[in-house]
Amino acid sequence: MDTKLHVGRPNLGDRDSFLRRVNEALDSRWLTNNGPFTREFENAISDMIGVRHVVAMCNATVALEIASRALGFTGEVIVPSYTFVATAHALQWQGITPVFADIDPLTHNIDPKRIEELITPRTTGILGVHVWGRPCDTEAIESIARRHNLPVMYDAAHAFACSHEGRMIGAFGSCEIFSFHGTKFINSFEGGAVTTDNDELAEKMRLMRNFGFSGFDNVIHLGVNGKMNEICAAMGLTNLEAIEEIVSVNRRNYESYRSGLEGLPGISLIAYDPSQRNNYQYVVIEIEPDQSRHNRDEVIAALHEKDVIARKYFWPGCHRMEPYRASQPEAWRNLPETERIAARLIVLPTGQSVDEKAIGWICKLIADLVR
Ligand SMILES: Cc1ncc(COP(=O)(O)O)c(C=O)c1O
């Protein structure tokens, strides 16, 4: 057994409930193709978020690809560089150029003030990312989008069960994309979903995730295989039942980190708005290099030596990864905050596999490194 403390170790719901569902799927021999567990998973999310349509998919990357195609993205789409590379890849994979906008250093989300200057005649949309589950400035983004008649989509891979201004994430923009990858707050091993209130868009995406089939032998659209299978949906449903328990563990861990790191020189823990729902899946610290004895990379290396697998996120930024590094070699000039934040940030382990004792020990290790 791996006893290291990893960022992103999966949260698990009730094992017996999951195995009961697996047996049911095996008994029924309905393993994939819009099966009953997949539809139940979609309905449960739809009720939870208060959105008309949930289209479950095999993962969030394919969901991003399908949704951006369904929205008619072509040419250029404005997106933060400070995100997991899948956000940019989903566009580039389809020959769409991701145009990188800088972030707001306080929220780590795309800075609406940087969007408008990047709009060109080739721009066809805006793709925001709710980093750490903290919502983008949807009002500002959508007002710019309205002025330029552009659709807005959000990558909400981090933001399942989070809210903004009292409304659940998943209900903003033309559509939003969730990830249920093993490392996410709620996992279905691998999985994703698009949420939307737009009937036509939902119908198009349902066709696209199933090769364009409308009934037997009748293909009416270009499509791909983006389907969620029944075992993944069984896992997703089981983990949905454990949401409250997982949030409370994450929240307890976050508070333990907060008290353990309090007052340490150069360390700040990112905050969540207590008036909104958050999944507390990310415990994120920034290290001020001038105030800490060791810099970010040295702290990470020392933690790894002690089997605490803390991570840099989203170092070094999409614009410094291929193919963007080669195709947009000057992009960094417009991304000072992205570069600054990516160089000073650490994500610490949380979730069900981390307890208060482990957190006390991790905080002590960090204290010895920064003081
Ligand atoms: C912000 C973001 N977008 C997209 C993805 C891709 O999700 P998936 O692994 O489900 O394809 C991830 C994580 O994996 C992510 O963190």
Q: How far is the CA of 83 from the centre of ligand 1 (A)?
A: 9
108 lines ligand 1 (CB under 6 A): no
* Concatenated DSSP letters of 74-123: -SEEEEESSS-HHHHHHHHTTTPEEEEE-B-TTT-SB-HHHHGGG--TTE
In three-state secondary structure terms, 309 is strand
The residue whose two tokens read 């949420």 is: 195
Q: At what angle do helices 356-370 and 243-261 cross, to 10 degrees?
A: 30
pLDDT value of residue 31: 98
Which residue has a Cα nearest atom 14 of ligand 1? 181
Q: Are 15 and 352 in contact (CB under 8 A)?
A: no
Pocket test for ligand 1, best of 181, 224, 314 (most atoms within 8 A of CB): 181
| CA angle (370, 368, 132) in 5-degree steps | 60
Question: 5-240 maps to which CATH number?
Answer: 3.40.640.10
pLDDT value of residue 23: 98
CA-to-CA distance for 353 and 10, rounded, in angstroms?
Answer: 8
Which residue has a Cα nearest atom 9 of ligand 1? 181
Evaluate the omega torsion of the peptide bond into residue 265 and state whether it is cis, within 30 degrees of 0. Answer: no
60 lines ligand 1 (CB under 6 A): yes
The whole-number mean pLDDT for each consecutive block of 10 residues of the chain, a chain of 371 residues, reads: 90 98 98 98 98 98 98 98 98 98 98 98 98 98 98 98 98 98 98 98 98 97 98 98 98 98 97 97 96 96 97 97 98 98 98 96 97 93
**Which residue spans of the chain are classified as CATH 3.40.640.10?**
5-240
192 lines ligand 1 (CB under 6 A): yes
Q: How far is the CA of 259 from the centre of ligand 1 (A)?
A: 30
- What is 243-310+349-370's CATH number, 3.90.79.10, 3.40.50.620, 3.40.50.12160, 3.90.1150.10? 3.90.1150.10
Nearest atom, ligand 1, residue 190 CA: 10
pLDDT value of residue 208: 98
179 lines ligand 1 (CB under 6 A): yes
Q: How far is the CA of 323 from the centre of ligand 1 (A)?
A: 18
Q: How far is the CA of 179 from the centre of ligand 1 (A)?
A: 6
CA-to-CA distance for 56 and 233, rounded, in angstroms?
Answer: 9
84 lines ligand 1 (CB under 6 A): yes
Give the list of residues 6+ apart from residue 139 with CB closer than 8 angstroms, or none: none
Q: Are 53 and 197 in contact (CB under 8 A)?
A: yes
86 lines ligand 1 (CB under 6 A): yes
**Which residue spans of the chain are classified as CATH 3.90.1150.10?**
243-310+349-370
In three-state secondary structure terms, 296 is helix
Q: How far is the CA of 336 from the centre of ligand 1 (A)?
A: 24
Q: How far is the CA of 54 from the centre of ligand 1 (A)?
A: 17
pLDDT value of residue 2: 82
Nearest atom, ligand 1, residue 129 CA: 1
Nearest atom, ligand 1, residue 183 CA: 14
181 lines ligand 1 (CB under 6 A): yes
